[in-house]
């Protein structure tokens, strides 16, 4: 070899050394930078090289760990050997989870990758092991699993609580069902008929008694709205009474058919101020009506039978008092006069009884004509002038300046109503008392209607508070007036009320015992006679 060639070879060798040094430096930098912990393992399982990341993850320096067994730094020692054997066969084994025991004896979960190194002849020269610290990830996973586990336990607890609640609910439902069955049994066994409507006025319930009243089956009508119920002829009278909106009513009589009368009450079902529906109670009063009819017929018969002789007595006494049957002494006149007055009261009573029976039998026929109401009031006042003067009562009649419109009324009946009110006022007002009659027209702008308003206020004895609800019932007489005045049938206000209401009016009163009473009634101003008649 020439010196020239030798120099060339030396130069090439030097270049190669430099390249190798550069590669070594590059490799060193690369391994230092590599964020994955890498180690080289001998075929015997000894660590022979580690990179910087391995030092960071394990805490071991090369001096401490190189030359040591790989199994020494993992918790799963037998698994490491198995994986190395597997790597020998498969060359690459990925994603194996191990616990790396660090220098400070902590366990770090790592995801490990194994690769077998072989020489040209295929002999195993060692292994590469790459590791990624997934302890944070595992910690997160553990936290998540713990949370999931806790949540699962909570859910299980909630589930148990829910099951308990469900059991409670089931028990409560059972009890409610039992209560419901009891309630239904009670409702079904009620002697009264019962219909229950929901808030949309749809029929929710009808009990057997109500079915019998109307001769109708539940399944035919249940769930129908009140408007739909009008399609059933048997129910029409009831629906007409209740109205489409089901107004609240109390003990309204209804004759369903011959020999079947009921009292209807519609009561709203209200819970915590909210209307949930309406219950309609049907109480049969057929027997009461029959008894009442028999009683009325008896009273009517008795009254008629009594009136004829009383009339005969009246005219006989009249003739005696007038001297048609001869001269009478003053003493005789006194007795006859008292007898005549007693007979008159008897006739009045009989007339009242007859009026009552007519009212109750529906025979209290009205003969409406267009009349001046003011004249009626004047007429009645005039008939009481003598008595008013005798008791020195001041009577004040206040009326509008303009004439009142004529209205359709039964003059005779209306006189009777006003008379009954004035009679009471005069009768129960002490001497030198005051009676004020007020007549006016009131306008109801919301209804675009006008009414004649009548009121009569006295300074009489008044009606005891506890007895006021019975004022318009038959034979009612206040306890205070019973003590002071023996006369009076207790029928006047009952008759007056029926007359006013039959004219489409409304009657009411205000009273304070010892101070006086004011009765009011309003009458609608209706001039259409035929429309008026329909009201009866």
Contact footprint for other proteins (CB under 8 A): 17, 20-21, 24, 27-28, 40, 42-46, 48-49, 61-63, 66-67, 69, 117, 119, 123-126
| Min CB(55)–other proteins separation in Å | 11
Burial of 202 (0-12, 13-18, 19+ CB in 10 A): middle
Beta bridge pairs of residue 31: none
Q: What share of the chain is helix, strand, coil (3-state, %, to 5)?
A: 50, 25, 25
User: Quick count: other Cβ atoms within 10 Å of Cβ 481?
Assistant: 20
**Minimum CB distance to other proteins smaller for 29 or for 337:** 29
Q: Which is nearer to other proteins, 50 or 377 (CB)?
A: 50
Nearest to 535 by CA among 483, 500, 492, 485: 500
Cross-strand bridge partners of residue 111 = 97, 132
The set of residues, in sequence order, having a beta carbon less than 8 Å from that of 141 and lying 6+ positions away, is none
Q: What is the separation of C-alpha 256 from the centre of its chain, rounded to a whole number of angstroms?
A: 31
User: How far apart, in Å, are the Cα atoms of 17 and each of 1, 9, 22, 54, 111?
Assistant: 22, 12, 8, 29, 38
Closest contact distance (angstroms) between CB of 35 and other proteins is 19
**Is the CB of 77 or the CB of 358 nearer to other proteins?**
77
CB-based contacts of 147: which residues, under 8 Å, 6+ apart? Answer: none
- Cβ proximity to other proteins: between 46 and 411 the closer is 46
Of the pair 1, 63, the CB lying nearest other proteins is at 63
Min dist. Cβ of residue 21 to other proteins (A): 4
Residue 51, Cβ neighbours under 10 Å: how many? Answer: 22
Q: Name the residue nearer to other proteins (CB basis): 31 or 249.
A: 31
To other proteins, the closest distance from the beta carbon of 6 in angstroms equals 16
Inter-CA distances, 521 with 407, 439, 451, Å: 15, 10, 10
Nearer to other proteins, 120 or 367 (CB): 120
Residue 324 sits at φ, ψ, to 5 deg, of -65, -25
**Smaller CB distance to other proteins: residue 19 or 440?**
19
Nearer to other proteins, 120 or 447 (CB): 120
What residues contact 289, with CB distance under 8 A and at least 6 apart? Answer: 253, 261
Which of residues 119 and 528 has its CB atom nearest to other proteins in the complex? 119
In the complex with other proteins, the residue whose CB is nearer, 27 or 319, is 27
Report, in Å, the least distance between residue 49 CB and other proteins. Answer: 5
Length of the chain: 536
49 vs 138 by CB, closer to other proteins: 49
The token pair at 113 is: 């990758």
What does the H/E/C string look like for 8-66? Answer: HHHHHHHHHHHHHHHHHHHHHHHHHHCCCEEEEECCCCEEEEECHHHHHHHCCCHHHHC
Torsion-angle region of residue 375: left (phi > 0), alpha (psi -120 to 50) or beta?
Answer: alpha
Q: Kind and range of the H or E element at 1?
A: none
What's the min distance (Å) between Cβ of 14 and other proteins?
9
Min dist. Cβ of residue 146 to other proteins (A) = 40
What is the C-alpha to C-alpha distance for residues 368 and 324, in angstroms, rounded to an integer?
39
Q: What is the DSSP string of 257-322?
A: ETTEEEEEEEEEEEETTEEEEEEEEEEE-HHHHHHHHHHHHHHHHHHHHHHHHHHHHHHHHHHHHH
In this structure, the number of other CB atoms found within 10 A of the CB of residue 278 comes to: 23
In angstroms, what is the minimal distance from the CB of 50 to other proteins?
Answer: 9
């Amino acid at each position: 070899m020439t010196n020239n060639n030798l120099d060339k070879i030396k130069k090439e060798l030097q270049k190669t050394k430099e390249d190798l040094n550069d590669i070594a430096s590059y490799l060193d930098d690369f391994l230092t930078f590599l964020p994955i912990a890498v180690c080289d393992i001998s075929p015997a399982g000894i660590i022979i090289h580690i990179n910087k990341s391995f030092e960071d993850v394990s805490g071991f320096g090369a001096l401490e760990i190189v030359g040591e067994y790989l199994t020494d730094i993992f918790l799963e020692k037998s698994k490491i050997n198995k994986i190395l054997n597997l790597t020998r066969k498969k060359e690459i084994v990925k994603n194996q989870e191990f616990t790396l025991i660090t220098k400070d004896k902590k366990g770090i979960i790592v995801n490990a990758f194994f690769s077998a190194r072989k020489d040209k002849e295929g002999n195993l020269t060692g292994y590469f092991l790459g590791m990624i610290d997934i302890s944070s990830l595992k910690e997160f996973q553990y936290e998540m699993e713990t949370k999931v586990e806790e949540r699962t336990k909570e859910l299980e607890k909630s589930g148990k609580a829910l099951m308990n609640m469900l059991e409670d609910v089931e028990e409560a439902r059972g009890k409610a069902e039992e209560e419901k069955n009891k309630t239904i049994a009670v409702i079904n066994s009620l002697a009264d008929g019962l219909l229950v409507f929901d808030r949309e006025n749809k029929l929710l319930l009808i009990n057997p008694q109500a079915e019998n009243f109307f001769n109708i089956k539940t399944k035919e009508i249940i769930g129908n709205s009140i408007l739909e119920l009008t399609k059933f002829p048997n129910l029409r009278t009831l629906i007409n009474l209740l109205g489409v909106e089901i107004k609240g009513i109390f003990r309204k009589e209804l004759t369903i058919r011959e020999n079947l009368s009921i009292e209807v009450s519609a009561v709203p079902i209200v819970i915590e101020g909210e209307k949930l529906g309406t219950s309609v109670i049907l109480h049969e009063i057929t027997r009461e009506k029959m008894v009442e009819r028999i009683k009325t017929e008896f009273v009517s018969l008795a009254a008629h039978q009594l009136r004829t002789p009383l009339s005969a007595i009246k005219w006989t006494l009249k003739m005696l008092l007038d001297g048609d049957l001869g001269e009478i002494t003053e003493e005789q006149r006194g007795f006859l006069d008292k007898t005549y007055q007693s007979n008159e009261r008897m006739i009045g009573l009989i007339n009242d009884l007859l009026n009552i029976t007519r009212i109750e039998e529906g025979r209290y026929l009205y003969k409406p004509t267009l009349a001046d109401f003011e004249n009626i009031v004047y007429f009645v006042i005039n008939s009481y002038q003598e008595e008013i003067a005798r008791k020195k009562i001041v009577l004040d009649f206040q009326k509008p300046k303009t004439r009142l419109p004529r209205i359709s009324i039964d003059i005779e009946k209306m006189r009777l109503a006003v008379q009954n009110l004035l009679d009471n006022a005069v009768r129960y007002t002490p001497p030198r008392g005051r009676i004020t009659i007020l007549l006016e027209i009131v306008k109801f702008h919301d209804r675009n209607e006008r009414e004649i308003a009548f009121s009569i206020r006295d300074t009489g004895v008044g009606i005891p508070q506890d007895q006021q609800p019975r004022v318009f019932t038959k034979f009612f007489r206040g306890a205070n007036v019973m003590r002071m005045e023996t006369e009076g049938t207790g029928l006047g206000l009952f008759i007056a009320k029926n007359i006013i209401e039959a004219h489409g009016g409304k009657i009411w009163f205000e009273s304070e015992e010892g101070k006086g009473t004011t009765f009011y009634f309003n009458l609608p101003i209706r001039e259409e006679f035929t429309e008026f008649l329909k009201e009866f």
